[in-house]
A and B are shown apart, each in its own frame.
Chain A
Amino acid sequence: MTVRKSVTLSFLMAVGIILQLLESLLPVAAIVPGYKIGFANIASLMALQMYDRKSMWIVGLGRIFLSALLQGTLFSVAFWLSLSGGLAALATMSLAVQTKWFSIFGISVAGAAANSAGQVLAITWIYQQYFMQLYLPVLLALSIVSGLLIALFVQLILRRIHYETRI
């Protein structure tokens, strides 16, 4: 890993942390409880587009751990939910990349849907309650919207920074 790459990944991770912290201030969750657009995923997707899958894992997992550390929720229920959703999303996105069928939009939507599913599974497991499963269809439907939105953002950002010419 070159210095340039590691610095870029660190910056992406920092962006992801900031986006995750800022998003907790957005009142989206008041409209649809439990729903987040997941702006932090912009960082992981950008790492994927600029480098490879390994970089995406580094940025994604680092972002989850560090933002939990900054929010003071490390190893709390919120952290485990975040981690399980993140792991499911990262694994699904890796698979989606491997198949080479999907563009960035498909990868992003698959990740967002896996995030919802992973979180609902974790809630079911932690609380031993099945009420969240009733909510899964709503979250899945919304994850299409957020996935497309995130992919659009990443595409626009990458176009603006002309990353191909710089690396």
Chain B
Amino acid sequence: MTESLEYIDNYFKKAFTGHENQQFEQRIIEDPAFAEEVAFYIATMQTALQQQAEDKKERFRQLYKESIAEDNVRALGDDDIRSIGRKDIHPGRIRRLFPALVAAAVLLLVVTGWFLIIRAGSPQQLADSYITGNWQSLPVTMTSNESPLQTGLSYYNNGDLPAAAAQFEKSLQTDSSNSKALEYAGIVALRLLQYDKAIAYFRKLEDNTQLFANPGKFDHALTLMKRNQPGDAKAAKELLEQVVLNHLTNKEAADDFLKKL
């Protein structure tokens, strides 16, 4: 059976010559069992593509939510934010700002409402909500040091996640136990939906018992919630319980998740 599948696969991957292609077609006409296998192959590819499109659409939805949040901030504008802080605001300026402020407030309400809906949802939705709320940007230290870690953070905060991932991995090549590099590499892998990779980084981070604050276990749980495969929710719950019981980093958030899971 696998031989037939390989033969069919070779045809669709265009590995055949003209004569072999003709033989393939002839077999479809003459051998109904073979034709059925070809039909199954095509139906599978069609279904897989449909799923791929749906996954992409979900990714786009996330990007769209992010862009709405960015627009909200941009609507206020740096100058306007500064002037709101001053006492000598000109009434005309307030009038000019008023429509933008109202629009920003409405958008903020919509986004907040959306997040509140998500908060009451599945493990995946809870994880999405946490990621959107906490990991849109990562803290950059004020240093002149242009280490891969700092460069990676800069890429991350500019939204270039693959480039950020490459820098964090570069940092780990120099020091494979660098806890910050492990944490950031895990976060960026999670945001790129590379769950196995993210889990591997967070596990390694968990194993470091020398850290005063170690978010490894919590981040591992979050990745399982986001991946949401069979058994993931249960495993995530167990990890979150350990975070709460042992007073580990992000205990409050873990406690909050446990109430909702």
Partners in one complex: no
Q: What is B's interface to A at a CB cutoff of 8 Å?
A: none
- Identify the A interface with B (CB < 8 A): none
